[in-house]
């Protein structure tokens, strides 16, 4: 539907202990969106992250498991899952996942040992055993033998080995953690939906190599007999990096997946659509053709294009197509455009990419179509103020100002107004661009290996910003 949304990942919420979480501040932000009469709240992937991947949600150690540091101790207390009062935490400038998990684990362990919520946990485990049981085993073994799984004792490199009692109990604990996470998340989703707001989630195209998904489903990935990748993922040189982006996750063996009618992939997609109203498909072009780089390369330059599954994969999940969004950014070839249009999935446009002097640039608003989700910038971009001051060339600034007929006031609101005025069915503004924050509020810098995924809000957005968004929405029929 025609509407607008705000992009804010859970880890960037204010409050919580060391990192934003699924607690009171999440409900507070939902109320801000309702006051703004927003249609959407877009979040980044919720998957279990790891410090060796810089806690990137796009290199998760499980696509299905929620990230334990995001669990709210306040919500656990509210739900009767704490044996003592949760601590009061000082505000954290940057997300610290390790500190958050170190603290919250103790409370979760106590709740698990006390059997709190046992009946609901058993119901959750029965309904989700297909992913939950191997995830719990993987986490317990990872904790025991370290990372990556290819260095574990031989009998544990395969998922079916019998676990010693101590490790088995730890595996059950990790299943319990997921019960707490998803109970909290689904409570939040129900509340957000009750306010008339839909949640846009995100499905990374690949899990990390050292992940429950690869360990349990290794035959669906291009791996050597010892479990190391034959090829890893990335993209060729692009707007963000002259040497490309090397993501280092293993790539799928789409032929093997196709022989199983894509059941492994489809099951995960359907499960995540229980948690979100819509899903943004990360790196959609990879479903048409993807860039694979020989394992061991230092950059993505020496990769090659390999064919993806194309339409065949999506026909296996045809009933969910109306709930998908294609992240079709980067080097987009005609086959990618044609695939998206055949499937009827909306694509994406980004205002920051529009100002190259080319009137035919698809990111220029006069070239938009209705079936799009348009952004001032995404989590991979600088903020609009940071881009304007630090990255935009003088020529780009002149062109943008001429296109908008000048800019009276703050540049972030000039771009927001331009975005709202377009024909795109949905538009999304990152919270940094609502607040007019600079480049130090950037979430991710592609090709930078460290320091990403840490930015946090200091407080809830002021009510005046909700009113201003609401006025724009009314003016342009959103």
In DSSP terms, 325 is beta-bridged to 280
Q: Which residues contact 143 (CB under 8 A, 6 or more apart)?
A: 170
Catalytic site residue 74? no
CB 41 within 8 Å of CB 198: yes
Which residue among 213, 216, 292, 380 is the active-site one?
380
DSSP-assigned letter for residue 7: E
Which residue among 282, 297, 362, 369 is the active-site one?
282
d(CA 307, CA 339): 13
The CA dihedral of 178, 179, 184, 189, to the nearest 10 degrees, is 90
Q: Name the E strands within 301-412.
A: 304-307, 324-326, 347-350, 372-375
CB 232 within 8 Å of CB 73: no
CB 141 within 8 Å of CB 152: yes
CB 199 within 8 Å of CB 40: yes
Q: Which residues contact 20 (CB under 8 A, 6 or more apart)?
A: 9, 10, 11, 12, 13, 14, 26, 70, 95, 456, 457
Catalytic site residue 327? yes
Catalytic site residue 380? yes
Neighbour tally for 466: CB within 10 Å? 21
DSSP-assigned letter for residue 370: S
Which residue among 37, 55, 210, 327 is the active-site one?
327
Q: Which alpha helices (DSSP H) does 195-317 contain, by range?
A: 212-216, 254-259, 263-272, 311-315
Q: Which residues contact 398 (CB under 8 A, 6 or more apart)?
A: none
d(CA 426, CA 348): 10
- The dihedrals phi and psi of 202, each to the nearest 5 degrees, come to -150, 135
Residues serving a catalytic function are: 282, 327, 380
């Amino acid at each position: 539907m025609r509407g607008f949304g705000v992009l804010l990942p859970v880890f960037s919420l204010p409050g919580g202990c060391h990192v934003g979480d699924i607690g009171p501040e999440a409900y507070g932000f939902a109320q801000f969106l309702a006051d703004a009469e927003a249609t959407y709240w877009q979040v980044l992937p919720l998957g279990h992250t790891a410090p060796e991947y810089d806690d990137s949600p796009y290199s998760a150690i499980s696509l299905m498991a929620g990230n334990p540091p995001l669990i709210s101790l306040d919500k656990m207390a509210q739900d009767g899952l704490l044996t003592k009062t949760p601590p009061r935490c000082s505000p954290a400038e940057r997300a610290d996942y390790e500190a958050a998990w170190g603290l919250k684990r103790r409370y979760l362990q106590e709740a698990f040992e006390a059997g709190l919520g046992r009946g609901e946990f058993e119901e959750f485990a029965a309904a989700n055993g297909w992913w939950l049981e191997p995830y719990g085993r993987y986490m317990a073994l990872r904790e025991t033998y370290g990372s990556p799984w290819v260095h574990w004792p031989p009998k544990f490199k395969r998922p079916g080995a019998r676990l010693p009692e101590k490790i088995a109990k730890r595996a059950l604990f990790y299943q319990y953690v997921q019960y707490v996470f998803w109970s909290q998340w689904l409570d939040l989703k129900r509340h957000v939906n009750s306010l008339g707001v839909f949640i846009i989630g995100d499905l990374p195209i690949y899990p990390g190599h050292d992940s429950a998904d690869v360990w349990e489903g290794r035959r669906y990935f291009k791996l050597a007999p010892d479990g190391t990748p034959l090829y890893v993922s990335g993209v060729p040189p692009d707007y963000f990096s002259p040497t490309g982006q090397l993501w280092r996750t293993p790539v799928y063996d789409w032929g093997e997946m196709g022989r199983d009618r894509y059941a492994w992939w489809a099951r995960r997609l359907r499960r995540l659509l229980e948690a979100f109203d819509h899903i943004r498909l990360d790196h959609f072009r990879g479903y048409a053709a993807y860039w694979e780089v020989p394992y061991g390369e230092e950059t993505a330059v020496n990769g090659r294009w390999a064919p993806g599954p194309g339409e065949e994969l999506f026909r296996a999940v045809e009933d969910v197509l109306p709930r998908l969004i294609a992240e079709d950014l980067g080097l987009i070839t005609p086959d990618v455009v044609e695939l998206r249009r055949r499937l009827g999935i909306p694509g994406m446009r980004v205002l920051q990419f529009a100002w190259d002097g080319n009137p035919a640039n698809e990111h220029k608003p006069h070239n938009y179509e209705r079936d799009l989700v348009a952004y001032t910038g995404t989590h991979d971009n600088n903020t609009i103020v940071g881009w304007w001051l630090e990255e935009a060339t003088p020529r780009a600034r002149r062109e943008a100002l001429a296109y908008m007929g000048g800019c009276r006031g703050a540049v972030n609101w000039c771009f927001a107004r331009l975005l709202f005025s377009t024909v795109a069915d949905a538009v999304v503004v990152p919270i940094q661009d609502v607040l007019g924050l600079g480049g130090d509020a950037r979430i991710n810098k592609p090709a930078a290996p460290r320091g990403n995924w840490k930015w946090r809000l200091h407080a809830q957005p002021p009510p005046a910003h909700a009113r201003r968004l609401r006025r724009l929405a009314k003016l342009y029929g959103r």
